[in-house]
Amino acid sequence: MAGILKYASTRDFGKLDFHTVDRSMSTSNVDILDSTMSSKTTSTTTTTNIKDDSNNNNNNNNNNNNNNQTTTTTTNNPSTSTTTLNEDDDSSESGSTLDIPKPSIDDMLNKIDESALAHLDKPASRKKYAHEDSSTPSWFKHSKHFLIFSFSGKPIYSRYGDEVALNTFMATLSAMSSFIESQKDELRHIKTGDYVFVYLHRDPLCLVSIANTGETPAIISRQLEYIHSLIVSMLTQSNIKAVFDAKYDLRDLLGGTDKFLDNLIKTIDKDISILLNSVNCLRLNYTPRNDITNIIQSNKHESVLFALLVSGNKLISFVKQKKYSLKPQDIHIVMNFVSSTSSFRESEAWIPICLPNFNNTGFLHLYICYILPDVCLLLFSALPESFYHLSNCKNLIVKEMESKGLMEELTKAVQNHGYTSAMTGVPHLLHFMYRSRTSYFSTSPKFTAPYSDKKERKRLFRLYQHIVDRVNNSCSKPHKYFYHTSRYETVIVAVSSTHEIYATFSPLETKQTVFESFSFLLQWIKDNESSLFLQ
Amino acid sequence: MSQTYVNHNQQQKKYLFKIILIGSSGVGKTSLLSQYVHKRYIQQHKATIGVDFLTKDLQLKDSKGETCSVTLQIWDTAGQERFQSLGSAFYRGADCCVLTYDVNDQTSFENLDRWKNDFIHQAAPSSPSSSPIPYQLVVIGNKIDMENQRCVSQKRAQAWCTENSVISYFETSAKDHQLVEQTFESIARQIVLAIEKQFIIPYQNADPNKVDIKKSANNEKEKK
């Protein structure tokens, strides 16, 4: 523990709170810690908080006491890992009915070599802060770190700085979690002064974020899950396990993919649809959208599992085979992947990709083609040799859309997809976000004054994060209404079985006007439902 | 395969190895590392608390004579009994375990059995199907500068090593800086060789068709 304490003392962290899972944690845990602490830093006091996670939206953590057991079984027996590690019961069922080929490591390396890497932009000097590591003071100044390492403590990725130079720092982080683990427990987060260390254990990987942004551990933990999904989407969970067991260095396989991680980290820190665990739709009238969906539906090749038409991170149309479904997280992972790679814009592409919430053991094959400068068609197939079928099916779709004049309609829609809170005609409304609970679609207007300023925008986003966390993860009964007033704004939240709505007003408005405007807004959303969301 | 890919992009293979040092308290694990990494000898004995981490970069030649860069992530663990409860997960995924004893201390040598069992018990994958020996065992006898006080002979130590399938045996002196650097360099080289060997196995077992495809896809990068 000396390394940890050295770090703790140099950073002058006043207080260390160990938040762990097991409720029946033995007191010896605290004793050992105390003795180690006191021998190094006398001013450090240790408190052990046992966190109540009964409302954690994370499925596989629901059973707190069994959690440790699951981890052990997965470490001991790699062959069962994929089933025990599946995050979502229904998705794993749907995935298992489908015969997805499970490639060997060599296969995977080939695939990554051949296709994915072929599309990567040149691995130029990508990192702004590559020269930094835990010995440079500037490294500690970043407000939000993301670090990924294996359970053995070997570095895989760091948002800032060179991960190899940071290897002792990551080893320290892994030692901290394995210390807790040796108490038959799991380290969730540590609070020290303004900083929070959030851990996510996904055997054989460990993801850590160190942040002083004021975000809650639950929110950061969700972000770490997104990042983990991204890694799984590139390698599959089975391959990550295999790579780890065979002692290949995971960094070799993830070579050149850092920019996807960098990009996703940036996106999750400002994307409202990800915050709401939902997908944003491109605003488009019902008739053209319906026409497009019908065209895709009627022309898609039989091997297509999912067909998505997207513009940036907005969904235009979504067609799927009846028995399968796609989670918002997977859609975001794919959209992030597509938008991070500019060379996809130039030609058709065919890449293996894993959808972690659909089936984390195998690759699907994704056909990517931009049919308009900002509109991209994505077709998923389980057959590696169906590229020409899908390319042909894209031609048919484009042809039919052109003949019906839908291309012009789409171009127009892409140009004016954004709307402002003023356009809703709701008095005093500054901003809002809406999420349907039945369909996982969300909508929100562009940030306009006073949130046109980047700093203000960030502040509102952080406020939303807190409120979303409060609304979704509160320990007591779920809230129906939530009213928050601060110096800068008033946010009112209403949650029903069908939707969540968060509306922001000036703090000077009275409660009455806020409530009146709020019902106006609800009506506006209802009236515009057909253009705001996919039906 | 991953190696050829790295080769192609970065001209040089890069490895990172986790090495853990275990052994009884006071045998000189921390001194050894301090001498190796900082080229400093610490006169005073100060017990390590839990674990400390050191890192060292090396340039090595692999079996084909190509230079590769190796980063050693060294886990300097506490030898004291009361910190042993921290040990369990520390051993996981180690590429090499260095068992250390003091050649002038009979007990520290006898304790090697316990340390070795401890390590194997906690680090080894429990399913026998996975890779045969994914880690390496090495023994270091330290403090050879005090030759007149020696109580464990080289012969006896080597016999123990053969018995326990230890790959190499080294003798060092952290105080006099005797053979410290050579020891760690040769440990690193052994891991590189072992890993290279491991890479060949899946390649040979692969389906001949697949190998053909691979070759045609990567013939630029293929060195062989």
Dihedral angle of Cα A310, A311, A315, A319, to the nearest 10 degrees:
-20
d(CA A111, CA B218): 11
Does residue B6 fall inside a structural domain? no
- Given a cut of 70, is residue A74 above it in pLDDT? no
Q: Does A104 touch chain B (CB under 8 A)?
A: yes
Give residue A99's pLDDT band: very low, low, confident or very high (50, 70, 90).
Answer: low
Partners of B206 on chain A (C-beta within 8 Å) are 104, 106
DSSP-derived 3-state class of residue B206: coil
Q: Indicate the class that CATH gives domain A421-532.
A: alpha beta
- Given a cut of 70, is residue A398 above it in pLDDT? yes
pLDDT for the residue A104: 54
- Given a cut of 80, is residue B47 above it in pLDDT? yes
pLDDT for the residue B124: 59
State how far residue A529 is from chain B, nearest Cα, in angstroms. Answer: 50
Partners of A205 on chain B (C-beta within 8 Å) are none
> pLDDT digit string (tens) for B1-23?
333 344 344 457 888 888 999 99
Among the partner-chain residues A78, A167, A171, the one whose CB lies closest to the CB of B127 is A78
pLDDT for the residue A251: 74
Partners of B75 on chain A (C-beta within 8 Å) are 153, 171
d(CA A208, CA B135): 26
- Given a cut of 70, is residue A42 above it in pLDDT? no
Mean pLDDT of A217-226: 94
CB-based contact A496:A479 (threshold 8 Å): no
Mean pLDDT of A428-434: 93
Does residue B216 fall inside a structural domain? no
- How much of chain A, in percent, has pLDDT values that exceed 70? 75
Give residue A246's pLDDT band: very low, low, confident or very high (50, 70, 90).
Answer: low
CB-based contact B23:B34 (threshold 8 Å): no
Does residue B220 fall inside a structural domain? no
- Give B 130-149 residues with CB within 8 A of chain A: 130-131, 134
- Given a cut of 70, is residue A290 above it in pLDDT? yes
Mean pLDDT of B179-192: 90
Residue with tokens 């990554």: A112
Does residue B120 fall inside a structural domain? yes
Residue with tokens 């925008």: A457
Chosen for mutation from A9, A108, A109, A250 (greatest number of chain B CBs closer than 10 Å) is: A109
Half-sphere exposure of B134 (CA within 13 A, CB side): 25
- What is the overall mean pLDDT for chain A? 78
Number of CB atoms found within 10 A of residue A476's CB: 6
CB-based contact A186:A200 (threshold 8 Å): no
Q: Give ∠ CA A328-A332-A338 in degrees, rounded to 5.
A: 145
> pLDDT digit string (tens) for B72-131?
999 988 887 666 655 566 788 888 899 999 999 999 999 999 988 888 877 655 444 444
Mean pLDDT of A482-507: 91
> pLDDT digit string (tens) for A224-237?
999 999 999 988 88
d(CA A448, CA B127): 59
Number of CB atoms found within 10 A of residue A360's CB: 25
Does residue B218 fall inside a structural domain? no
Higher pLDDT, A346 or A51: A346
Mean pLDDT of A389-402: 93
d(CA B65, CA A191): 49
Strand-pairing partners, residue A309, are: A317, A377
DSSP-derived 3-state class of residue B11: coil
- Given a cut of 50, is residue A436 above it in pLDDT? yes
Number of CB atoms found within 10 A of residue A144's CB: 17
Query: Which CATH number is B117's domain given?
Result: 3.40.50.300
Q: What's the domain range around B94?
A: 14-40+49-197
- Given a cut of 90, is residue B193 above it in pLDDT? no
Angle between helices A217-235 and A454-473 (to 10 degrees): 90
Give residue A259's pLDDT band: very low, low, confident or very high (50, 70, 90).
Answer: confident
- How much of chain B, in percent, has pLDDT values that exceed 70? 74
Among A66-75, A129-138, B72-81, where is mean pLDDT lowest? Answer: A66-75
Q: What's the gap between Cα A442 and its chain centre? A: 15
Give residue A476's pLDDT band: very low, low, confident or very high (50, 70, 90).
Answer: low
Name the pairing type of β-strands A314-320 and A279-281: parallel
> pLDDT digit string (tens) for A340-355?
888 898 889 999 999 9
Mean pLDDT of A458-476: 86
Mean pLDDT of A327-337: 94
Kindly identify which residue of chain B lies nearest to residue A118, measuring between CA atoms.
Answer: B217
Does residue B145 fall inside a structural domain? yes
- Give A 226-255 residues with CB within 8 A of chain B: 244-249, 251-253, 255
State how far residue A460 is from chain B, nearest Cα, in angstroms. Answer: 41
Its ipTM equals 0.77
Among A87-96, A284-293, B89-98, where is mean pLDDT lowest? Answer: A87-96
pLDDT for the residue B83: 67
Does residue B134 fall inside a structural domain? yes
Give residue A268's pLDDT band: very low, low, confident or very high (50, 70, 90).
Answer: very high
Higher pLDDT, A94 or A191: A191
Partners of A245 on chain B (C-beta within 8 Å) are 125, 130-131, 134
* Number of structural domains in chain B: 1
d(CA A274, CA A58): 15
Give residue A481's pLDDT band: very low, low, confident or very high (50, 70, 90).
Answer: confident
> pLDDT digit string (tens) for A403-420?
999 999 999 999 888 899
